[in-house]
Amino acid sequence: MLEVEKIRRDFPILSREVWGHSLVYLDNAATTQVPESVLQTALDHYRCNNANVHRGIHRLSELSTQSYEQARQRMAGFIGAPDDRCIVFTRGTTDGINMAACGLEHLLKPGDRIIVSMLEHHSNMVPWQQCARRTGADFIAVGLTEEGDIDLRALEEALVPRTKVVAISCCSNVLGTVTPIERIVAMAHEASAVCLLDGAQIMRHRLIDVQAIGCDFFAFSGHKMMGPTGIGVLYAAPPVQNLLDPCVFGGEMVDRVSLRETTFEAAPLRYEAGTPNYVGAIMLGAAADYLESVGRADIAAYEDELIAYAETRLKGICGLHILGNPQHRSGCLSFTVDHVHPFDLCALADKLGIALRSGTNCAQPLLEDVYGIPYVSRLSVAFYNTFDEIDRAADVLEQVIPLVCQGF
């Protein structure tokens, strides 16, 4: 069982005030807060061991390189990868998916098929859409059930023999839908397609073992899991480690350079051009350590309890409608309120200390084509949130909704 009040002391930002009110931070699907231990890791490195990695024989470069590669080993263990050569450090999930979409272009030709779902964040839709445009492949978005789960029957029908790529989110950043990724990966492989999973929203909500899941690629970001922004991971399974063509070129990723031609390093370095965000990677390793120390299974269970409680509380608010009713909702939920614009609602909630998100949540096809709405409000939890904070957020919404309806 989590000691939530003790955990909250690891995050000093949670004790600050906003507009004269105690902060209730419920925008964790966008970015989580960073614990002191992770912040201290960065400070310690810059103070004591800072030097560019892989490029020097002096002591500081050796220490910096050692810490960077230890972070790579740490992330391999964190997601159950067979070895650290599977771990490519990226700028985040978006960067990793773009790396995969660009790197797989050489395998695609007109008439081939790329499949995503209507749940996808723009970051797991637009890169594949553009890849299809450049190669002539067909871009297919599989629909959802009425409840907001991926329609697996429609997916099965879409998996024609010329399907080359299936790219699916593990957890929706709008509905909170947790997808049956093991089954989807198996379906993709039965069609001889490679499968990429967008893991951005799932990292705190379940234990990830990429070998057990069986995916070819898995992308996630540090800032969704108590790490810094600007760092993430693209996991590439051993059979596909060198399948991607490099798309960014420069130092570090090369083997031999001449005026006539260039050869490249093996994975993962062939995908890490230039000076990497090595301090970000070291902080990401520290974030993984922190999550392990708290207890990943306990985190996942507690966050599911929080979002279920939030769903119950918000359903009791007159005129408020929660999107979707998936078999398993985790991490977040989105909602609309009759005659109330999400921007107005969240702006007023902010003035009372409640941090929610409003807008498209980078999922315009989901909102517009499936639900026929342009914007939503979203509440998303982390394990440092409390049931009292959910109550306070619900109370504030009940307070401000009439004000918005009356035009303030």
Q: How confident is the model at residue 372 (pLDDT cuts 50, 70, 90)?
A: very high
Quote the mean pLDDT of the chain. Answer: 97
Q: What is the pLDDT of residues 90-115, one digit of tens each?
A: 999 999 999 999 999 999 999 999 99
pLDDT of residue 405: 78
| Residues labelled catalytic | 362
pLDDT of residue 49: 96
Residue spans per domain, the chain: 4-30+295-405, 38-292
The answer to which of 52-61, 70-79, 315-324, 325-334 has the lowest mean pLDDT is 52-61
pTM: 0.97
* Domain 38-292 coded CATH 3.40.640.10: yes
User: Tokens representing 150?
Assistant: 């991926």
Q: What is the pLDDT of residues 139-194, one digit of tens each?
A: 999 999 999 999 999 999 999 999 999 999 999 999 999 999 999 999 999 999 99
- The reply to whether 38-292 shares the fold of 4-30+295-405 is no
**pLDDT at 1 exceeding the cut of 90:** no
pLDDT of residue 308: 98
**pLDDT at 4 exceeding the cut of 80:** yes
Fold of 4-30+295-405: Aspartate Aminotransferase, domain 1 (3.90.1150)
